[in-house]
Amino acid sequence: MTQTFYEHMAQFLRDKDAKDVVEVGLDVQLRLARALSSHCRKFYSVNFSEDHARMQGWYELARDMGGVTNLEFLSGNVLELPNLLPNLIDHADVIILQGVLIDGTGTDTDLMWKYRRGELECDDGLWRELVSRFRQAEEDAYKGFLQVAKPGHIVRFGKPEEDKKFKNMLVDKLRVDPTRIQTKVLLYGDTGNVGKAFFIDNS
């Protein structure tokens, strides 16, 4: 029977004896943090400050009702992660991204939805520029992840159709040894939908 991503990651953190774990792009309801925080010493959430403001109520609920006492919000642009963390930890044992679209500007995600909803006109050229910015932000962010989780692991869980471009970025642009990349099909919670997790061994 296929495991959920949460189930697999709980065991993964225990197996790796993870101390400091960083999640990029925490979901508003803190579901992954609530599922995994008890399996590490400290669980950091990296998001823009406005996102953390929206999560505050869920954070208080998780702390007061769910016993999540080791979650710390870290506000800022994830592209600056190597500069955000040094005052807190030397490095991250595991960095986790679950269905995250990395936005290097903080405004491109909103722009994308306005294009898709027809609120703003978008021709092919504008769309290509937007996609290019997302791809560059992803590449820049993973460069930083490879610095922060050294030694350590980076775990990305997302849609299977995104796999080829993602792996090409890791291998061709960031020179990650392909033998250091493992994949596993896992479930999104109890939805029955499947995704694919990439496990990058950066030790």
Chunked into runs of 10 residues, the chain (203 residues) has average pLDDT values of: 91 97 90 93 92 89 88 91 82 94 91 95 96 96 96 94 88 97 90 91 95
Upper half-sphere CA count for residue 33 (Cβ side, 13 Å): 30
What residue type is 176 in one-letter code? V
Distances (CA, A) of 90 to 65, 83, 145: 31, 11, 13
pLDDT (0 to 100) of residue 1: 65
pLDDT (0 to 100) of residue 10: 97
By the 10 Å C-beta count (0-12 exposed, 13-18 middle, 19+ buried), 49 is classed as exposed
Nearest residue to 78 via CA among 57, 99, 49, 55: 49
- Whole-prediction pTM value? 0.93
pLDDT (0 to 100) of residue 87: 74
What residue type is 14 in one-letter code? R
pLDDT (0 to 100) of residue 79: 93
pLDDT (0 to 100) of residue 177: 97
Q: Which residues, other chains included, contact 62 with Cβ-Cβ below 8 Å and sequence gap of 6+? A: 30, 33, 34, 68, 71
- Report d(CA 142, CA 148) in Å as an integer: 10
